Amino acid sequence: MVPELVTQREPGELFVIRNAGNIVPSYGPEPGGVSATVEYAVSALNVTDIVICGHSDCGAMKAIATCACLDHMPAVTNWLRHADAARMINDAIDHPTEQARIDGMVRANVVAQLNNIRTHPSVALGIAQKRLSLHGWVYDIENGSLDALDESTGSFVPLAQHPASRL
């Protein structure tokens, strides 16, 4: 997924972090590249909106949802542990199909990563000062649609029907 194409922006108009599973580790004593990038975007660039955007057919979320063996990729296995909350929530739901389980994992992970990013001090301050908004989106690659998290209901709705989630 190319965020600039989906949002119809020119290169450089968006400050983008891309990684496997759209993971944002909770803030901790050993901040990594994601933490440093989030802090820089919020504190130095004064970013006003952060979007955690999952997408259909995400290999990382599919691996988690289907319990794929990743023993041959220990770094990936360790990285995906940042989605454990999403996995536990998704596993507690009775999904009618494997595809529904995977789609549910993508959505649960967006919610989990929004919760993780709220633990970052710069993000917490930006939200408290009402100068930063968080958004959760899921992009369907096949049909080009975007769903946005309606935090009041906890459900994902078409972005066009959720004006509070549009940037």
Mean pLDDT of 157-167: 72
Q: Which residues contact 69 (CB under 8 A, 6 or more apart)?
A: none
Dist CA 139 CA 101 (whole Å)? 16
Tens-place pLDDT, residues 92-147? 999 999 999 999 999 999 999 999 999 999 999 999 999 999 999 999 999 999 99
Nearest-CA neighbor of 79 among 153, 25, 33?
25
- Is residue 5 scored above 90 in pLDDT? no
Q: What is the side-by-side strand order in the sheet with 145-150? A: 49-55, 133-140, 145-150, 155-158
Tens-place pLDDT, residues 45-58? 999 999 999 999 99
**pLDDT at res. 107:** 98
Q: What are phi and psi of 155, to 5 degrees?
A: -110, 160
Tens-place pLDDT, residues 56-70? 999 999 999 999 999
Q: What are phi and psi of 132, to 5 degrees?
A: -140, 135
The 10 Å Cβ neighbour count of residue 32 is 9
